[in-house]
Amino acid sequence: MSGSKRGPTRAAVSIDWKQLHREARTRFGIDAFWPGQRELIELALSGRNSLGIMPTGAGKSLCYQLPALFLPGITVVVSPLIALMQDQQEKLAEAEIDASVLNSTLTVSEEKEAAEKIQEGDHQLVYVTPERLEKAGYLELLKSRGVSLFVVDEAHCISQWGHDFRPAYLALSDAIKKLGNPPVMALTATATPEVTTDILEQLDLRLAVVVNTGIDRPNLFYETFRTVNVSAKREQIRRILSEESGNGIIYTATVREANELWHWLASMDEKVSIYHARLRLKEREENQQRFMNDEFHAIVATKAFGLGINKPNIRFVIHYNFPDSLESYCQEAGRGGRDGEPARASLLYRLEDRRIQTYFLGGKYPSGQESLRLYRIMREAAADNGKKELPLGRIREISGMSERRARVILAQLQDAGVVHRGPHGFHYTRDFATEEEFSKFLSEYEERLQGDRERLDTMMRYAQTGGCRVQFVNEYFGVPPGEPCGHCDNCRAQVQPEPIQPAEPVSAPPPPPVLPFEPGDAVQHSDFGAGKVLAVEGESVVVAFDQEGEKKIRSEYLAKAS
């Protein structure tokens, strides 16, 4: 249990579990609750704040959709993706539950119709993007209807120390206050202990009960393949596709790699499709729908594909490159096997792939010059206009920055007490007191960048580990590691078959040779130069050479570096 400043103001609803089970069965086809669901449902109906940390595909949506049928006011659900909201609305319609969406895709007439239905009490759930909650008119509309539960989906997005920080989420604490402090349910599939603490602090939750069911999905079979070059990656993908009759996702780190892999697989007569942000919207939607209809063996995609996808029978998820963090990997791999049936999570590991993610990290945060420019813009605007607020659009126009970059800097300036967020924008409040204060402000970006580098290093350690992968993941997310899973590639490799007893006594075989190398040893090869041992496999050693990349070498051709 964790504490903070705010307590829920709504009265508890009496809980009739027989009726809850009946609605769950009738509307959602659910006969029994999964771990964590019952606890979160009870907390919502009791008017208490909660943070649910449950694996991808573990039924987080039911934790608020079912209570919404029994609560007197509306349930507001903050979601980062429009596609995710639309998918949820369609699923609820099938369950005969009315839900509204408030996002940028609505026309003026659609927006007016949605507002009228909310005002009249026709809809029990309202899905909204965080950007919409920055507008006073939307907050007044929701407040007038009465909010019984405020849900923050993908709650890790609010943490500046998480892998997928979204500045628009920082306004949610203000929105909760303006809505009358309803009980809050925050939900995420991935949160380290540090991110968990930050979520609770950013949302200003008091006595929030943390329900953490862990990250493990027993039906997911994790495996990693060391692939020294593009040819090795492609052949490994061909092998997996030949072994799997179901359909799946192949994730690449870049659009270029997605296009190249898609063309190559198509030339091999594989029935594959493609999805990335540079395709035309109509083409993306068509490819996605055909994949949902099981028309393709696989879809090659960047990380743009997935959050809005609820396809239960995905049998494999292949990562052509390792992603930026273990959080990203678990979310993306977790899109496999949501029907509870076995699914493969395959990572193709190559040391050189680190450069791709390092390049992305380099452009993720604003530079010191950008921060200084925006600081001066706000200060000069205050000198010209006094306390008049500048809308975000005007700030972007003056600065020439993207919305995300401007939001990140404004969030930091707000934390420093230099600007203040008002109902219509931001206004300047004071100068930095000293140069040291300004330097500290800028240093926070470097701290966050260092955190991203550490997450990338952890992802690489996961790829290289010789231990149980599920235990590795559990330890990273701060839950007890438990016993070895028994079904990841490393666990399977350690299971020895029962020896066959010979009919007649035979001499014992000679003991296996003891190799002089261990992972982490520095070694030297006459042709490939210096390297570091990654793994020992039988009488061979996998080495990451400084100049030649990864190679598998027989031990007798290596020498320990002095």
Domain layout of the chain by residue ranges: 17-212, 220-359, 379-448, 522-560
Closest CA to 522 of 534, 512, 513, 514: 534
**Which one, of 75, 58, 59, lies nearest residue 13 by Cα?**
75
What is the DSSP code string of 31-63?
SSPPTTHHHHHHHHHTT--EEEE--TTS-TTHH
Higher pLDDT, 53 or 91: 53
pLDDT at 151 over 90: yes
Please report which confidence band the pLDDT of residue 534 belongs to, taking 50, 70 and 90 as the band edges: confident
Residue with tokens 């061909």: 238
C-alpha radius of gyration, the chain, whole number: 26
344, burial (CB in 10 Å: exposed 0-12, middle 13-18, buried 19+): buried
Q: For position 14, what pLDDT does the model report?
A: 75
Tell me the residue type at 209. V
| pLDDT computed for residue 506 by the predictor | 43
The architecture (CATH level 2) of 220-359 comes to 3-Layer(aba) Sandwich (3.40)
- The mean pLDDT value for 410-428 works out to 81
Question: What are the CA-CA distances from residue 223 to residues 32, 458, 470, 514 (Å)?
Answer: 31, 16, 11, 26
Cα–Cα distances in Å, from 185 out to 45, 151, 160, 246?
Answer: 11, 5, 19, 35
In order, the DSSP letters of 161-172 are: TSSS--GGGGGH
pLDDT at 509 over 50: no
The arithmetic mean of pLDDT across residues 102-128, rounded, is: 79
Residue 161 has pLDDT above 90, yes or no: no
Sign of CA dihedral 52, 54, 60, 62: negative
Distance (Å, rounded) from C-alpha 219 to C-alpha 342? 5
Instruction: Please state, in angstroms and as integers, the Cα–Cα distance from residue 9 to each residue in 77, 141, 148, 181, 209, following that order.
Output: 18, 19, 9, 6, 16
Question: What number of other Cβ atoms are within 10 A of residue 117's Cβ?
Answer: 15
Residues ≥6 apart with Cβ < 8 Å to 7: 49, 181, 206, 207
**pLDDT for residue 209:** 92
Q: Which structure tokens are listed for 183? A: 């009980």
CATH of 17-212, one of 3.90.110.10, 3.40.50.300, 3.90.550.10, 3.30.10.20: 3.40.50.300
The first and second tokens of residue 280, run together, are: 């035309």
Spell out the alpha helix ranges (H) of 57-192: 62-68, 82-94, 108-120, 136-145, 172-178
Tokens of 501: 């007893």
Q: Which of 161-165, 209-213, 514-518 has maximum average pLDDT?
A: 209-213
Cβ–Cβ < 8 Å for 97, 124: yes
For domain 379-448, the CATH architecture is Orthogonal Bundle (1.10)
Residue pair 229/350 in contact (Cβ under 8 Å)? The answer is yes
Contact 163, 453 (CB under 8 A): no
Q: CA–CA separation, 305 vs 355, rounded Å?
A: 22
Strand partners, 552: 542
Same fold flag, 220-359 and 379-448: no
CA distance readout (Å), 285 to 23, 129, 318, 389: 33, 21, 22, 39
Give CA separation, 405 vs 185, 365, 395, 420, in Å. 28, 7, 11, 17
What is the C-alpha separation between 106 and 493, in angstroms, rounded?
53
Beta pairing partners, 50? 185, 209
Query: Which of the residue ranges 8-17, 62-71, 245-254, 292-301 would you say has the lowest mean pLDDT?
Result: 8-17
pLDDT for 314: 93
Say what the alpha-carbon torsion angle 380, 382, 383, 386 is, to the nearest 10 degrees.
160
Mean pLDDT over residues 530-546, rounded? 76
Contact 409, 366 (CB under 8 A): yes
376-409 pLDDT per residue, tens: 888 888 877 766 788 888 888 888 888 878 888 8
Q: Tell me: the pLDDT tens digits for 325-377?
A: 898 899 899 889 988 899 999 999 988 888 888 877 777 777 778 888 888 88
Terminal alpha carbon distance of the chain: 52
Q: Which residues of 504-533 are buried (b: 16+ CB within 10 A; e: fewer)?
A: eeeeeeeeeeebebeeebebebeebeebeb
Q: Per-residue pLDDT tens for 485-498?
A: 999 999 998 865 54
Determine which helix (DSSP H) or strand (DSSP E) holds 489, and give its type and residue range.
helix 489-494
Whole-angstrom distance, CA of residue 189 vs CA of residue 171: 22
User: So what's the pLDDT on residue 461?
Assistant: 92
Cα separation of 132 and 93, whole Å?
23
pLDDT band for position 7 (50/70/90)? very low
Q: How confident is the model at residue 49 (pLDDT cuts 50, 70, 90)?
A: very high
Q: Which of 55, 381, 404 is nearest to 216 (CA)?
A: 55
